[in-house]
Amino acid sequence: MVRKKITLLTLVGAVVLALSVANVGESQVGQSQLVNPDLASEKELLALPHMNAAIVKSILEQRPFLQMADLNTLLAKSLSKEQLAELYGKMFVQINLNTASQEEILMIPGVGNRMPREFREYRPYKTMAQFRKEIGRSVDVKEVARLEQYVFVPVGLNGASDEDILSIPGTGKRMLREFKEYRPYTNLEQFRKEIGKYVDKKEVARLERYVTLN
């Protein structure tokens, strides 16, 4: 009897773990340990490779960066390609898997000329799980996890789960509530208007890059 109870508990635990992993797999914004230049503090930015007070001041003044290419244009005025590659191993503006240009994909450190073709071949991406599956055909699990830090799939405003919305950098329970309160959204202008009641225009623009009505 005791053995049966232990077996049942083990089975239940396995199911819970499987469901948990499955949910994580559907998150729309890649799990990332990279510093987000749109959200980082001055202290966090100064601690990064090749950063100095002047560069950090420029980042703080010009953010949010709605495209990684915009940040790269700013930094390329002061840093070499080698320095940028080292920096982007620590800091990056995540790129939209469905719209990123070849130029932006190539900004991901260690990405060769073949990978941009792989990224674009499987568009449109609906979930991060799809990205993991398709890119996993070309590289191992460890490399997929590394690449995932640099990308996102836009979150559907009207159908996204709580977890999907919370995967957007800088969101929390309060913003989750605001996102859901105004469903259904009929256009992005409505999103800008309603979310603009709680944050400024720059933050609305930053959040908008992570969402879609499709």
The secondary structure of 110-165 as a DSSP string is T--SSHHHHHHHTPSP--HHHHHHHHTTTS-HHHHHHHHTTEE-PEETTT--HHHH
Residue 208: which of 178, 173, 181, 168 has the closest Cα?
A: 168
Residue 207: is it exposed, middle or buried by C-beta count within 10 angstroms (0-12/13-18/19+)?
A: buried
Answer whether residue 145 is part of any domain: yes
Check whether residue 80 and residue 147 sit in a common domain: yes
Instruction: Record the pTM.
Output: 0.85
Strands 155-156 vs 211-212: parallel, antiparallel or unpaired: parallel
Check whether residue 76 and residue 94 sit in a common domain: yes
Check whether residue 74 and residue 176 sit in a common domain: no
pLDDT score recorded for residue 137: 96
Check whether residue 162 and residue 114 sit in a common domain: no
Check whether residue 141 and residue 177 sit in a common domain: no
Report whether 127 contacts 28 (CB < 8 A): yes
Check whether residue 181 and residue 87 sit in a common domain: no
Span 164-191, average pLDDT: 97
Check whether residue 98 and residue 162 sit in a common domain: no
Answer whether residue 78 is part of any domain: yes
Residue 170: which H helix or E strand, with range? none
How far apart, in whole angstroms, are the C-alpha atoms of residue 108 and residue 95?
10
Q: At 6, is the pLDDT very low, low, confident or very high (cuts 50, 70, 90)?
A: very low
pLDDT tens figures, 60-72: 999 999 999 999 9
pLDDT score recorded for residue 42: 98
Report whether 204 contacts 192 (CB < 8 A): yes
DSSP 30: P
Span 152-168, average pLDDT: 96
Structural domain containing residue 207: 155-212
Answer whether residue 84 is part of any domain: yes
Q: How many domains does the chain have?
A: 2
Check whether residue 62 and residue 113 sit in a common domain: yes
Answer whether residue 184 is part of any domain: yes
Answer whether residue 101 is part of any domain: yes
Q: Over 80: is that where the pLDDT of 1 sits?
A: no
Answer whether residue 52 is part of any domain: yes
Answer whether residue 113 is part of any domain: yes
The percent of residues in the chain predicted with pLDDT above 90, rounded, is 84
Q: Over 60: is that where the pLDDT of 25 sits?
A: no
Check whether residue 119 and residue 192 sit in a common domain: no
Check whether residue 159 and residue 146 sit in a common domain: no
Span 108-122, average pLDDT: 94
Check whether residue 70 and residue 138 sit in a common domain: yes
Q: Over 90: is that where the pLDDT of 26 sits?
A: no
Q: At 30, is the pLDDT very low, low, confident or very high (cuts 50, 70, 90)?
A: confident
How far apart, in whole angstroms, are the C-alpha atoms of residue 212 and residue 166?
15
Answer whether residue 136 is part of any domain: yes
- Of 104, 122, 152, which residue constitutes the final position of a domain? 152
How far apart, in whole angstroms, are the C-alpha atoms of residue 37 and residue 212?
22
Mean pLDDT of the chain: 90
Check whether residue 92 and residue 129 sit in a common domain: yes
Q: Over 90: is that where the pLDDT of 12 sits?
A: no
- Of 112, 135, 152, which residue constitutes the final position of a domain? 152
